Amino acid sequence: MQKIEAVIQPSKLDAVKDALVEAGISGITIFEARGHGRQKGHTEFYRGREYAVDLLPKIKLELVVTDEMKEKAIDAIIGAARTGRIGDGKIFVSKIDEAIRIRNDERGEIAL
């Protein structure tokens, strides 16, 4: 099993969700996040006052999939979230040792 964490633009959330569902993945966890990588913040002005936007709004997704579904999920995220501009986000993948469904104690891939 693999955990996929993706940091994406908030505006791409609906598209990414749809793409994952289409790829056969329905279980995701979503976090509202702030941050920046190479896409640094910027400064905005309003009525002569300066406001620094150093941390940009982002959405972080987490999903755990079977090994076979990993590439499908990654492709779905990339396909939906990519604009080609700085700030599109990143995907991190890591191994998961165990998954347990709390309701009935099912374990392993069946619990996903």
Partner 1 sequence: MTSSNGDDGGDGGVNPTSGATARGEYERRMVEIRRGFELSGDGLRAATARAALVDDLVMRFWNQEVKADPELAVGVAVTAIGGFGRAHLFPYSDVDLFFCVEKSSEKLAKESIRRVSQSLWDCGLQVSLTTRLPGECERLDPVNPEFGLALLDLRKIGGDEAVFAKLRDKSVARLRSKDAKAIGVALAELTRERHAKYGDTLFHLEPNIKDCPGGLRDANVCHWLKGLRGEPGAGSEGFAEAIAFLAAVRCFLHYRHERDDNALDWQAQDAAAQRRIGLTGTSQDRVDAAYWMRAYFRHARVVERCLLREAAGAGLKVESKSVVRRVRAPERAGFLLRDGLLELKPTSASGVDAAHEPEIVLAAFAAVAETGARLSYASEERIANAIPVLSANLEEGPGLWRQLSAILRGERAGVALRAMHTLGVLDVIVPEFHGIDALVIRDAYHRYTVDEHTFVLIDTLHGLAADPGTDAPDWRVKFGSMIRELQNPGLLYLAALMHDTGKGRATEHHAVESARMAQSVLDRLDMDAYDAGLVMRLIETHLEMSAALRRDIFDAETVRAFVGKVQTHESLRMLTLFTYADVAAVNPDALTPWKAENLWRLWMATANQLDRNVDEERVHARVSGGAIGGGWRKDEKIARVLALVDGKQAEAEHFLEGFPERYVRTRSPETMRQHFEMTQHFAEEPFQVAFQHGAKQAGSTMSEITLVTQDRPRLFAGMAAALAAWGMNVVTADAFANEAGVVVDSFRFTDTFRTLELNESERERFVSSVRDLVAGRSSVEKLLSGRRRGKRKPPRMVVETKIEFDGTASSHSTLLQVIAQDIPGLLRAISATVSGKGYNVEVALVDTEGETAIDVFYLTSDGERLSGEQERDLGEALLSAIEENSQ
Instruction: Provide the binding-site residues for partner 1, judged by CB under 8 A.
Output: 9-11, 13-14, 32-34, 44-48, 51, 53, 56-57
Q: How far is the CB of 9 from partner 1 (least distance, A)?
A: 6
Q: How far is the CB of 30 from partner 1 (least distance, A)?
A: 11
Nearer to partner 1, 65 or 80 (CB): 80
Nearer to partner 1, 32 or 105 (CB): 32
- DSSP H helices in the chain: 13-22, 70-81
Burial of 48 (0-12, 13-18, 19+ CB in 10 A): exposed
Helix (H) or strand (E) holding 92: strand 89-95
Which tokens belong to 85?
């501009």
C-alpha closest to that of 16 among 84, 110, 68, 89: 89
Q: How far is the CB of 54 from partner 1 (least distance, A)?
A: 12
Nearer to partner 1, 48 or 95 (CB): 48
